[in-house]
C-alpha cells in the first residue's frame, strides 16, 4: 500500500504494494494476485483444486470448511495455530500466513496422519462430507496444545462442526486416544473396541487387556485397536508434532515483516491493510463509509446472504494499538481487534491470578463465551466487531453494559472519548459512532467486594447458537450486620428489543432495598411491566421470551443468595431444593457402549469392515459432485425463484441481467425443448413456472454466466411482475378451504369402531390432536449437478448428487425431448441424502439441462444452503385427530383416527408418505377396531418429500401420544400401557398382514434389563423430590418398522459383476452410496460369495448406463435388494467357473479367473432380485405391503431446567433386532446416527414458515434457512451415556444372509427422549397444581418445554394449557 501520507497530506490515489502479497498453502508459497478482494479463502482453496475443504453452509455454522491457520505472533514470540472457517475468511485476510488443509496432513499415497487414521478405523466417517472439517478441527487443537488435551477440550473443539450421519459418538471415540489418560475408560460405561472375548481397551496401551471390567460375555466389537497418541515433540514455532511428516511453519514467514496492503476486487472494491492506528484513521477519513473487518463473521454474512456490497474494506488485524490486551490494577484494557479466543485466554489468566471477588465479571464473560458460536468463529471474530455489530441478541453486549464497561472511541483527528457501554447502543444496529470514529478499546473494570456479575442465555441449542434471550446482571451489595442491602444494580437483556435493553425501572426499584425474598417478589412484579415484548416482535415466541426475563432474574437472585450463604453463613430462607437451579452446567465427557456378535459368513459377511471410502474421506480425496473439475468452457447456473406464495406472472424482464459481466443467457418455460411438465408420480409440476407460481422458491427460470458469482448477481436482477393471489399456508388453512391434492384420500378400516364406542364396553373414550412439525434434511452436501453434451449434442451426460439417478435421467430426457438411452446420470457418492435427494434433486438437474443442451456447453449448478433449504422440501408436518376407547385395565378397544400431512404445492411422494403413516399408526399395539382416514393437503409451500422414515415416524408418534394420554387418564405408567397391548406372533395387522418372527417382547425385555428401568425410575423420583427447578424424566418406547417400498414395482434391483483375470472384481449396482455403507455391505456379500477378500472388490459409481431402471436408494431396503442381486450375479459366475475349478486345483482366485478366461468362460453377469410375496390392494384394504419388520426399543433419561426449558440427555439405551448383521459396525453407526437425527426431529429442529403462526415472517417464506436459524444436534447434544445393543441369535429368514434393514427403523426411537421430557414436565406441573394429561407438540424445543412447566413465572403471560405456535 505504501505510505498513506506524503508531506503531511493524505494521498488520494492508489499506491502499489511495496512487496508481493503471499500465502503459504500446505507448505507451498503462492503469490496472491490483485483483483481477488471478493474471494473467500474457501473459494481460493477450491480453485486450487484443494476440494477437501467443503462448502456446507457459507455462514460458518457447519464446520465443513475448517482449515488450520498459522501465523507468527511477534509479541508472544510464538506461532499461533487455530482452526477457522474458510467460508468466512476473506482471502486477503490470511496474507502472510500458512494455511493447512486436510490434504496437507496426509493422504492415501504418502500415509495418513494419526488423526485421519484413527477416525477412519473407528468408523467415524459415513457420508464423509463433514469429515475433513472434523479432522482439521482436531488437528488444529493438537498442533496448538503442548500437552494432550482433555476430553472436554476435544468435545469443545468439535462443537462448531456438524455431522448429520454418525451421531458423533464414533468421532469422539476416535479422537479420545489423543486425550490425557482417563481412568474412566476402565469402567463399564466406557466405549469398547474389543476383540472376541469382550476385553476393554487399556487407556495406557490402547489395546485389549484384562485390566478393566468386561462389558459382558456376549459383547463383541471386533475393530482395530489404536495406540494412544501423544505428541513426539513441541516447539513454540511449529506446535506439536505427531509424525515426521508434519508441515513446519514456513521459515520465510518467521523473518518476514508484515507490510501494508492495498488490493482490489470487482465492482470497484478496495481492500486496505494498514499497520498502524494513524493509517486506519486516515483511511477512515478518506472513506467514511468504509467497513472495518477483523474476522468477517458479520460482514461475510451480509455480503453473501444479504447482497450488501462494500466498496472499501479496512482490515484492522495488524494494528498494534487495536490489539492490546493489558491487565491494569483496576481492570482489563481490551483492543477492538482482539479475538474472542484471545480475550478468553486473558480472562482465564486473570481469574487464576487475582482474588475471586475481583473477577466476577471475568468469570461471566468466560462462561458466556463458552457457548458463543464454534471455536472456529471465536478464533477469528473480534471484540470490537461483535460490539459494533450491535446485534439485539448479542451475547456480550448485555454483559458489557451490566459490568460497567467503558468504550474508548477515537476519531480521525486522534481525539479519544469514553462512553459507558450502556449508553453506546442507540437503536437497531445503531451505535454511538460517527462516520469519522472507530472503537479503539474496551475497559472492563474488576468487580469490587460485594459486587457480583452473572450471565444468562437461552437458545434453541446450548452450543454454537444465537440467543433467544440473554442477559447480563450485576448487583453491588453492602453488608450491615446480618443483612445485605443493594447499593447498585444493573439488569440488561438481549433478545427483547431492537437493542440490548436495561430494565431501568427494576434497577431503580432495587437500589437501597434489602436483599430478601420480599425484594425478589417486588422486583419480579416491576420487571413484568418493565420489559415488554411486542406481540408481533421479530422472532416470535413472545410469551416464552417474556417468561425468561423473570426466570433469569430469579436465577440471578438464587445465585447471589447461595453465594452469600456460602461465604457468610447468613441464611436467606432459601430451601435446598432450589440450589440445583443455579448449579453451573458442567457436561462430563460422554461415554458409549456397543454390544453385538459377529457370526461370520464366508470371508467377509458379518465382519465390522471399515467403510470402503473411509480413507478417501478422512484425507479429503473423496470426490463429490461439486468437486469434479469444471470443463474449460463450462458455465455456472443460478435459479430465478418466485418471491410470492401464490401469484400470476405478468412479465419477466432480463435487461438488467444482460449487463452483468459474464452473462450468457436467461432461460424460461418458452425455451424448454421438450416437456415443461414434470413430477415423480404425476406430472403436476412445471420445470419453469409459465403463468402461475404456487410457492415461494418455485423456479421461474435459470441464468448462466462465466462464474457462479456473476450468475447469482444476474439472477437477482431479473425483474418479475406478479399479481398476487390468495395463499393456503398450513394444514388448518387447507382444512378450512378444503384444499387437498386430487385423489389423495386414503381409508383403512378393521372391525366396527362405532359399535365399540356405542356399546358401553369402553371404560373411557378420549380424544385429542397431535401436531408434528416438519424437519429439514440438512444433508451436508447441497444439491449439485454437472451436466454436459457429447457427440454434437446427441448425448447428455451428468454427474449428480442424487439418490435416484434414474429419475434424473428420466426428467432430463423428458424436458429435452430425448430418448432415455441418450441420457446418462452417474453418481459416485452423496454427502448425505436421507430422502431429500430422492425426487427433489431431479428438477434442479433438469433446469440446468436446458441451457446446457441449447448452448452446447457444460453447466454446473450447486445450490447455496439457504436456497437448497427453501426450495427442495422437508419432512412432512402432520396433524392427527384421534378418538380412542379403552378398558379400565388399559386395553385398547377402538381407534378412530384422522391424519393429514402438508404436501406443499405438488404431490411428489406425499401420497406414499401418507400411506406409510397409515400403515404405522398402530406402532406395536393390538387394536381390534380401527378406522383411519388420511388426506394430503395442498398448500402454497414448496413440495414436501421423502425423509428417513417416510411418514412412519409421524404415524407412530401420533400413536404414542394417545398411548400416553390413556396412561395419564388411568394413572398408570405409559410403559405399562405399551407392554400390556403389545402385538404378538401371528397377530393380523389392521391392513391384513400376519405378524411373523415378532421379537418385540424379546427386545423390550432385554432393554428393561439393560437399562434397569425400575431402578432408574426410583432414582429419578428421588432426584425430583429433592429438586424444585430441575426435573428428570424417563421413558421406554418400542418400534416396529415395515421393510419394503409400499409401491410394489419398486421392489426390484439389478447388479453387474465383472471378474478380471487378475482376480479382482468390478461391481456395479443400482444403489447409491450416501454414507449408509451400502457399497461396503454389497462388497462384503460379493467377497463372501466368491471366497475372496473385500479389498479385491471395487465399486466405482452408480450409473444409468450400467444398471438400468433402478429404484431410488430409499426405504431401507437397498442392502436387501442389491445384496441379493449381487449374490445372484456372483452365483452365476461361480456356476460357470465350477467346471474349470473342478478340473484343476488353483492356488488363488486370480489363477482360477485366468484359467476361466483361457477357456472362454463369461466372467461377467447381470444379477437381479425382486422381493417376493408382497403387495397391497387399497381397494379392499388388505394385503402384505412389507417383506418383514425391524423391531427396536429405546430407553431415555433426561434432565430439564424448568425455568428455561433447557435440557440434556443423561442416558440412552437402545436394543435393535437386526437379524444377523452384514456389518455390525456400520449397523451400529446407522442406529446411532438415526437416533440423533430423530432427536433433532423430536426436540431440537423447528421449521418455521411465514404462515398464520409466524406473521413476522413474510408469507410463504422459510425463516429457518441455514444453521444460524435451524438447529441440528451437535456433539454436545448426544447422551452422556449412549449404549446400543443388537439382539443376538435372531436371524431373519426373509433377507440376504439373515440380516435386517437398519437405515430408517431406529429414527423413531428418539421419541423416547421426547416422552422422557414430557415425564419430567409432568412432575414440574404437578408441583404447581396442574396434574394429568397435557399436550406437548413436537419438536419439544426449549420454548415448549418451559411453557409447559407452568409456574409463577409463566402465569402472568399464559395459562397452563398454552401451546406455542408451530408451523404445521
pLDDT digits (tens, 9 = 90+) for 1202-1216: 999 999 999 999 999
Query: What pLDDT is recorded for position 183?
Result: 45
Q: What percent of the chain has pLDDT over 90?
A: 90
> Would you call 1085 helix, strand, or coil by DSSP?
helix
Tell me the CA distances in angstroms from 916 to 144, 910, 927, 1191, one per residue in order.
Answer: 51, 10, 18, 16
Tell me the CA distances in angstroms from 876 to 646, 845, 951, 1302, 1366, one per residue in order.
Answer: 20, 23, 8, 21, 13
Could you give the CA distance from residue 186 to residue 188 in angstroms, rounded to a whole number? 7
Could you give the CA distance from residue 1280 to residue 1295 in angstroms, rounded to a whole number? 35
pLDDT at 1099 over 80: yes
Tell me the CA distances in angstroms from 1148 to 646, 1093, 1143, one per residue in order.
Answer: 67, 11, 14
Binned at pLDDT 50, 70 and 90, residue 3 comes out as very low
Phi then psi dihedrals of residue 732, to 5 deg: -65, -40
Could you give the CA distance from residue 1197 to residue 1313 in angstroms, rounded to a whole number? 7
* DSSP line for 654-699: -HHHHTSTTEEEEE-GGG-SS--EE-SSS--EESS-SSEE-STT-E
Phi then psi dihedrals of residue 638, to 5 deg: -140, 140
Could you give the CA distance from residue 1223 to residue 1226 in angstroms, rounded to a whole number? 6
Q: What is the mean pLDDT of the chain?
A: 94
Q: Which value, to the nearest 10 degrees, does the dihedral of the CA atoms of residues 870, 66, 337, 47 take? A: -80
Cell of 1028: 424444585
Query: What pLDDT is recorded for position 193?
Result: 38
Q: What is the arithmetic mean of pLDDT over 945-967?
A: 98
For 650-661, the pLDDT digits (tens) are 999 999 999 999
Smallest CA-to-CA distance from 527 within 578, 585, 469 is with: 469
pLDDT at 14 over 80: no
Cell of 757: 364406542
Tell me the CA distances in angstroms from 1338 to 54, 978, 1342, one per residue in order.
Answer: 32, 20, 11
Q: State which of 221-235, 586-600, 846-860 shows the largest mean pLDDT.
A: 846-860
For 485-521, the pLDDT digits (tens) are 999 999 999 999 999 999 999 999 999 999 999 999 9
- Dihedral sign for Cα atoms in the order 1217, 1220, 1224, 1229: negative
Phi then psi dihedrals of residue 868, to 5 deg: -55, -45
Rg of the chain, C-alpha, whole Å: 31
Listed range (132-141, 598-607, 721-730, 904-913) with the worst mean pLDDT: 598-607
- Kindly report the pTM of this predicted structure: 0.95
- The answer to whether residues 111 and 245 touch, using CB atoms and an 8 Å cutoff, is yes
pLDDT at 188 over 70: no
Phi-psi region of 1239 (alpha: psi -120 to 50; beta: other; left: phi over 0): alpha
Buried b (16+ CB within 10 A) or exposed e, 1012-1045: ebeebbeebeebbeebbbbbbbbbbbbbbbbbbb
- The answer to whether residues 514 and 484 touch, using CB atoms and an 8 Å cutoff, is yes
- The answer to whether residues 606 and 1221 touch, using CB atoms and an 8 Å cutoff, is yes
Query: What pLDDT is recorded for position 307?
Result: 80
Phi-psi region of 450 (alpha: psi -120 to 50; beta: other; left: phi over 0): left
Tell me the CA distances in angstroms from 1333 to 186, 963, 1311, one per residue in order.
Answer: 43, 11, 18
Residue found under cell 416438519:
774
Q: What is the arithmetic mean of pLDDT over 1076-1090?
A: 98
Phi-psi region of 1100 (alpha: psi -120 to 50; beta: other; left: phi over 0): alpha
Could you give the CA distance from residue 579 to residue 1015 in angstroms, rounded to a whole number? 25
Query: What pLDDT is recorded for position 571?
Result: 67
Count of CB atoms within 10 A of residue 553's CB? 24
Q: What is the DSSP letter of 39?
A: -
Could you give the CA distance from residue 92 to residue 23 in angstroms, rounded to a whole number? 9
Q: Determine which one of 342, 685, 776, 1304 is catalytic.
A: 1304
- The answer to whether residues 543 and 1347 touch, using CB atoms and an 8 Å cutoff, is yes
Q: What is the DSSP letter of 243?
A: S
Query: What pLDDT is recorded for position 796?
Result: 98
pLDDT at 1340 over 50: yes
Q: Is 1258 exposed, middle or buried (0-12, 13-18, 19+ CB in 10 A)?
A: middle
Count of CB atoms within 10 A of residue 534's CB? 10
pLDDT at 227 over 70: no
Binned at pLDDT 50, 70 and 90, residue 186 comes out as very low
Could you give the CA distance from residue 374 to residue 158 in angstroms, rounded to a whole number? 8
> Would you call 576 helix, strand, or coil by DSSP?
helix
Smallest CA-to-CA distance from 1310 within 1036, 1028, 985, 899 is with: 1036
Smallest CA-to-CA distance from 785 within 557, 626, 893, 897 is with: 626
Cell of 663: 452473462
Binned at pLDDT 50, 70 and 90, residue 184 comes out as very low
Query: What pLDDT is recorded for position 373?
Result: 87
Query: What pLDDT is recorded for position 297?
Result: 81
Q: Is 419 exposed, middle or buried (0-12, 13-18, 19+ CB in 10 A)?
A: middle
pLDDT at 224 over 90: no
Query: What pLDDT is recorded for position 212?
Result: 37
Binned at pLDDT 50, 70 and 90, residue 2 comes out as very low
Cell of 162: 456438524
Query: What pLDDT is recorded for position 824?
Result: 98
Query: What pLDDT is recorded for position 619?
Result: 98
> Would you call 281 helix, strand, or coil by DSSP?
helix
Listed range (213-217, 837-841, 1236-1240) with the worst mean pLDDT: 213-217
Q: What is the arithmetic mean of pLDDT over 228-239?
A: 88
Binned at pLDDT 50, 70 and 90, residue 226 comes out as low
Query: What pLDDT is recorded for position 1025?
Result: 97
Is 1304 annotated as catalytic? Answer: yes
Query: What pLDDT is recorded for position 216?
Result: 33
pLDDT at 742 over 50: yes
- Dihedral sign for Cα atoms in the order 236, 242, 244, 248: negative
Q: What percent of the chain has pLDDT over 70?
A: 95
State the Cα angle at 1114 between 1110 and 1118, rounded to 5°.
Answer: 70
Q: Is 793 exposed, middle or buried (0-12, 13-18, 19+ CB in 10 A)?
A: middle
- The answer to whether residues 211 and 193 touch, using CB atoms and an 8 Å cutoff, is no
Cell of 1318: 414430557
- The answer to whether residues 815 and 676 touch, using CB atoms and an 8 Å cutoff, is yes
Binned at pLDDT 50, 70 and 90, residue 1327 comes out as very high
Q: What is the arithmetic mean of pLDDT over 368-373?
A: 91
Q: What is the arithmetic mean of pLDDT over 243-261?
A: 93
For 1268-1307, the pLDDT digits (tens) are 999 999 999 999 999 999 999 999 999 999 999 999 999 9
Smallest CA-to-CA distance from 940 within 1259, 645, 1257, 724 is with: 645
Binned at pLDDT 50, 70 and 90, residue 1144 comes out as confident
* DSSP line for 770-809: EEE--B----SSPPEEEEEEETTTTEEEEEE--S-HHHHH
Query: What pLDDT is recorded for position 194?
Result: 34
Could you give the CA distance from residue 164 to residue 179 in angstroms, rounded to a whole number? 25
Query: What pLDDT is recorded for position 567?
Result: 78
Query: What pLDDT is recorded for position 942?
Result: 98
Q: Is 1110 exposed, middle or buried (0-12, 13-18, 19+ CB in 10 A)?
A: buried
pLDDT at 1026 over 70: yes
- The answer to whether residues 1278 and 1243 touch, using CB atoms and an 8 Å cutoff, is no
How many residues belong to the chain? Answer: 1368
Binned at pLDDT 50, 70 and 90, residue 217 comes out as very low
> Would you call 209 helix, strand, or coil by DSSP?
strand
Query: What pLDDT is recorded for position 15?
Result: 54
For 991-1009, the pLDDT digits (tens) are 999 999 999 999 999 999 9
pLDDT at 197 over 70: no
HSE-up (13 A, CA, CB side) for residue 646: 13
Query: What pLDDT is recorded for position 204?
Result: 33
Query: What pLDDT is recorded for position 17?
Result: 62
State the helix-helix crossing angle for 131-144 and 114-121, rounded to 10 degrees. 140
Q: Which residues have a Cβ under 8 Å from the Cβ of 1361 and sit 6 or more positions away?
A: 1334, 1335
- The answer to whether residues 776 and 1270 touch, using CB atoms and an 8 Å cutoff, is yes
Could you give the CA distance from residue 560 to residue 491 in angstroms, rounded to a whole number? 14
Cell of 409: 472511541
Q: What is the arithmetic mean of pLDDT over 767-783?
A: 98
Amino acid at each position: 500500500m505504501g505510505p498513506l501520507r506524503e508531506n503531511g497530506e493524505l494521498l488520494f490515489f492508489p499506491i502499489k504494494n511495496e512487496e508481493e502479497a503471499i500465502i503459504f498453502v500446505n507448505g507451498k508459497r503462492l503469490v496472491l494476485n490483485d483483483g481477488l478482494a471478493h474471494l473467500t479463502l474457501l473459494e481460493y482453496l477450491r480453485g486450487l483444486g484443494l476440494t477437501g475443504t467443503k462448502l456446507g453452509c457459507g455462514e460458518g455454522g457447519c464446520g465443513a470448511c475448517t482449515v488450520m491457520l498459522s501465523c507468527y505472533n511477534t509479541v508472544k514470540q510464538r506461532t499461533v495455530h487455530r482452526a477457522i472457517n474458510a467460508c468466512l475468511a476473506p482471502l486477503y485476510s490470511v496474507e502472510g500466513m500458512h494455511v493447512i488443509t486436510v490434504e496437507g496432513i496426509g493422504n492415501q499415497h504418502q500415509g495418513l496422519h494419526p488423526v485421519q487414521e484413527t477416525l477412519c478405523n473407528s468408523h467415524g466417517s459415513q457420508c464423509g462430507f463433514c469429515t475433513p472439517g472434523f479432522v482439521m478441527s482436531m488437528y488444529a487443537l493438537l498442533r496448538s496444545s503442548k500437552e494432550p488435551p482433555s476430553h472436554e477440550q476435544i468435545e469443545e473443539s468439535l462443537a462448531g462442526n456438524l455431522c448429520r450421519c454418525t451421531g458423533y459418538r464414533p468421532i469422539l471415540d476416535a479422537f479420545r486416544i489423543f486425550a490425557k489418560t482417563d481412568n474412566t475408560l476402565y469402567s463399564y460405561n466406557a466405549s469398547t473396541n474389543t476383540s472376541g472375548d469382550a476385553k476393554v481397551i487399556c487407556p495406557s496401551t490402547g489395546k485389549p487387556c484384562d485390566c478393566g471390567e468386561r462389558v459382558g460375555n456376549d459383547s463383541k466389537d471386533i475393530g482395530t485397536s489404536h495406540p494412544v497418541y501423544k505428541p513426539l515433540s513441541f516447539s513454540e514455532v511449529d506446535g506439536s508434532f505427531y509424525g515426521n511428516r508434519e508441515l513446519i511453519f514456513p521459515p520465510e514467514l518467521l523473518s518476514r515483516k508484515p507490510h501494508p496492503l492495498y488490493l482490489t476486487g470487482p465492482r470497484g472494491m478496495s481492500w486496505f491493510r494498514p499497520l498502524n492506528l494513524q493509517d486506519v484513521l486516515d483511511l477512515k477519513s478518506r472513506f467514511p463509509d468504509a467497513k472495518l473487518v477483523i474476522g468477517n463473521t458479520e460482514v461475510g454474512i451480509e455480503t453473501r446472504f444479504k447482497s450488501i456490497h462494500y466498496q472499501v474494506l479496512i482490515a484492522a488485524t495488524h494494528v498494534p494499538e487495536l490489539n492490546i490486551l493489558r491487565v491494569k490494577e483496576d481492570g482489563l484494557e481490551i483492543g477492538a481487534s482482539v479475538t474472542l479466543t484471545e480475550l478468553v485466554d486473558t480472562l482465564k489468566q486473570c481469574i487464576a491470578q487475582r482474588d475471586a471477588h475481583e473477577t466476577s465479571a471475568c468469570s461471566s464473560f468466560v462462561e458466556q463465551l463458552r457457548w458463543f458460536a464454534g471455536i472456529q468463529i471465536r478464533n477469528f471474530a473480534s471484540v470490537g466487531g461483535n460490539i459494533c455489530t450491535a446485534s439485539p441478541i448479542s451475547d456480550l453486549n448485555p454483559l458489557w453494559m451490566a459490568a460497567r464497561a467503558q468504550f474508548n472511541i477515537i476519531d480521525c483527528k486522534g481525539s479519544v472519548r469514553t462512553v459507558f457501554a450502556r449508553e453506546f447502543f442507540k437503536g437497531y444496529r445503531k451505535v454511538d459512532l460517527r462516520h469519522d470514529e472507530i472503537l479503539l478499546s474496551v475497559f472492563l473494570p474488576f468487580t469490587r467486594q460485594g459486587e457480583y456479575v452473572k450471565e444468562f442465555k437461552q437458545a434453541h441449542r446450548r452450543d454454537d447458537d444465537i440467543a433467544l434471550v440473554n442477559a447480563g446482571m450485576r448487583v453491588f451489595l453492602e453488608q450491615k450486620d446480618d443483612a445485605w442491602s443493594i447499593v447498585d444494580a444493573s439488569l440488561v437483556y438481549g433478545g427483547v428489543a431492537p437493542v440490548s435493553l436495561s430494565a431501568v425501572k427494576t434497577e431503580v426499584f432495587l437500589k437501597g432495598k434489602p436483599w430478601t425474598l420480599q425484594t425478589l417478589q417486588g422486583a419480579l412484579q416491576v420487571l413484568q411491566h418493565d420489559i415488554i415484548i411486542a406481540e408481533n416482535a421479530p422472532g416470535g415466541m413472545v410469551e416464552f421470551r417474556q417468561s425468561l426475563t423473570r426466570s433469569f432474574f430469579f436465577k440471578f437472585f438464587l445465585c447471589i443468595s447461595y453465594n452469600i450463604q456460602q461465604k457468610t453463613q447468613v441464611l436467606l430462607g432459601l430451601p435446598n431444593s432450589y440450589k440445583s437451579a443455579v448449579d453451573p452446567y458442567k457436561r462430563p465427557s460422554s461415554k458409549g457402549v456397543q454390544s453385538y456378535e459377529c457370526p461370520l459368513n464366508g470371508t467377509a459377511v458379518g465382519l465390522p469392515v471399515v467403510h470402503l471410502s473411509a480413507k478417501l474421506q478422512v484425507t479429503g480425496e473423496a470426490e463429490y459432485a461439486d468437486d469434479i473439475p469444471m470443463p474449460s468452457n463450462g458455465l455456472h447456473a443460478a435459479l430465478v425463484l418466485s418471491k410470492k406464495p401464490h401469484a400470476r406472472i405478468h412479465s419477466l424482464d432480463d435487461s438488467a441481467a444482460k449487463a452483468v459481466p459474464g452473462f450468457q443467457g436467461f432461460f424460461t418455460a418458452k425455451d424448454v425443448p421438450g416437456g415443461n411438465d414434470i413430477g415423480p408420480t404425476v406430472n403436476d409440476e412445471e420445470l419453469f413456472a409459465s403463468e402461475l407460481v404456487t410457492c415461494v422458491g418455485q423456479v421461474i427460470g435459470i441464468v448462466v454466466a462465466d462464474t457462479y458469482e456473476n450468475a447469482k448477481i444476474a439472477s437477482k436482477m431479473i425483474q418479475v411482475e406478479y399479481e398476487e393471489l390468495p395463499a393456503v399456508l398450513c394444514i388448518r388453512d387447507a382444512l378450512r378451504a378444503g384444499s387437498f391434492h386430487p385423489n389423495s384420500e386414503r381409508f383403512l378400516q378393521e372391525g366396527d369402531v362405532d359399535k365399540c364406542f356405542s356399546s358401553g364396553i369402553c371404560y373411557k373414550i378420549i380424544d385429542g390432536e397431535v401436531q408434528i412439525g416438519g424437519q429439514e434434511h440438512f444433508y451436508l452436501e447441497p444439491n449439485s449437478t454437472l451436466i454436459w453434451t457429447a457427440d454434437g449434442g446427441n448425448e447428455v451426460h451428468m454427474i449428480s448428487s442424487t439418490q435416484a439417478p434414474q429419475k434424473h435421467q428420466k426428467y432430463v430426457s423428458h424436458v429435452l425431448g430425448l430418448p432415455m438411452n441418450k441420457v446418462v446420470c452417474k453418481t459416485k457418492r452423496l454427502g448425505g441424502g436421507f430422502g431429500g435427494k430422492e425426487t427433489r434433486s431431479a428438477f434442479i438437474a433438469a433446469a440446468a439441462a436446458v441451457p446446457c443442451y441449447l448452448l452446447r456447453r457444460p453447466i454446473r449448478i450447486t445450490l447455496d444452503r439457504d436456497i437448497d433449504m427453501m426450495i427442495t422440501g422437508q419432512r412432512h408436518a402432520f396433524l392427527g385427530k384421534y378418538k380412542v376407547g379403552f378398558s379400565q385395565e388399559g386395553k385398547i378397544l377402538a381407534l378412530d383416527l384422522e391424519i393429514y400431512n402438508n404436501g406443499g404445492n405438488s404431490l411428489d411422494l406425499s401420497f406414499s408418505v401418507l400411506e406409510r403413516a397409515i400403515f404405522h399408526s398402530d406402532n406395536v399395539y393390538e387394536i381390534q377396531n380401527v378406522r383411519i382416514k388420511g388426506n394430503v393437503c395442498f398448500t402454497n409451500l414448496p413440495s414436501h418429500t421423502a425423509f428417513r422414515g417416510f411418514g412412519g415416524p409421524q404415524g407412530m408418534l401420533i400413536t404414542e401420544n394417545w398411548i400416553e394420554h390413556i396412561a395419564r387418564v388411568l394413572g398408570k405408567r405409559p410403559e405399562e400401557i405399551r407392554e400390556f397391548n403389545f402385538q404378538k406372533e401371528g397377530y393380523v395387522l389392521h391392513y391384513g398382514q400376519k405378524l411373523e418372527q415378532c421379537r418385540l417382547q424379546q427386545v423390550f425385555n432385554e432393554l428393561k434389563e439393560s437399562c434397569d428401568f425400575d431402578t432408574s425410575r426410583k432414582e429419578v423420583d428421588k432426584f425430583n423430590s429433592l429438586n424444585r427447578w430441575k426435573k428428570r424424566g424417563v421413558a421406554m418406547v418400542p418400534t416396529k418398522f415395515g421393510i419394503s417400498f409400499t409401491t410394489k414395482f419398486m421392489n426390484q434391483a439389478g447388479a453387474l459383476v465383472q471378474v478380471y483375470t487378475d482376480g479382482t472384481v468390478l461391481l456395479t449396482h443400482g444403489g447409491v452410496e450416501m454414507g449408509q455403507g451400502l457399497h461396503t455391505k454389497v462388497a462384503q456379500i460379493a467377497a463372501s460369495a466368491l471366497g475372496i477378500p473385500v479389498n479385491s472388490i471395487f465399486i466405482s459409481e452408480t450409473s444409468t448406463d450400467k444398471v438400468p431402471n433402478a429404484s431410488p436408494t430409499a426405504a431401507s431396503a437397498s442392502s436387501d435388494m442389491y445384496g441379493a442381486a449381487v449374490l445372484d450375479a456372483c452365483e452365476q459366475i461361480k456356476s460357470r467357473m465350477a467346471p474349470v475349478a473342478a478340473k484343476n486345483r488353483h492356488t488363488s482366485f486370480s489363477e482360477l479367473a485366468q484359467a476361466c478366461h483361457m477357456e472362454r468362460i463369461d466372467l461377467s453377469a447381470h444379477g437381479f432380485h425382486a422381493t417376493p410375496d408382497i403387495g397391497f390392494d387399497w381397494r379392499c384394504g388388505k394385503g402384505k405391503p412389507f417383506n418383514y419388520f425391524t423391531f427396536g426399543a429405546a430407553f431415555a433419561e433426561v434432565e430439564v431446567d424448568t425455568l428455561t426449558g433447557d435440557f440434556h440427555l443423561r442416558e440412552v439405551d437402545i436394543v435393535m433386532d437386526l437379524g444377523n448383521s452384514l456389518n455390525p459396525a456400520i449397523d451400529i453407526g446407522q442406529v446411532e446416527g438415526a437416533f440423533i437425527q430423530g432427536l433433532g426431529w423430536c426436540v431440537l429442529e423447528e421449521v418455521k414458515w411465514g404462515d398464520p403462526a409466524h406473521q413476522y415472517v413474510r408469507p410463504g417464506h422459510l425463516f429457518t434457512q441455514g444453521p444460524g436459524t435451524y438447529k441440528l444436534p451437535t456433539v454436545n447434544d448426544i447422551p452422556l451415556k449412549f449404549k446400543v445393543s443388537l439382539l443376538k441369535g435372531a436371524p431373519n429368514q426373509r433377507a440376504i444372509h439373515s440380516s435386517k434393514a437398519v437405515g430408517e427403523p431406529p429414527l423413531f426411537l428418539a421419541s423416547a427422549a421426547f416422552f422422557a421430557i414430557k415425564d419430567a414436565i409432568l412432575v414440574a406441573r404437578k408441583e404447581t397444581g396442574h396434574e394429568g394429561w397435557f399436550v406437548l407438540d413436537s419438536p419439544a424445543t426449549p420454548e415448549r418445554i418451559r411453557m409447559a412447566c407452568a409456574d409463577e413465572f409463566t402465569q402472568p403471560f399464559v395459562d397452563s394449557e398454552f401451546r406455542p405456535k408451530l408451523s404445521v
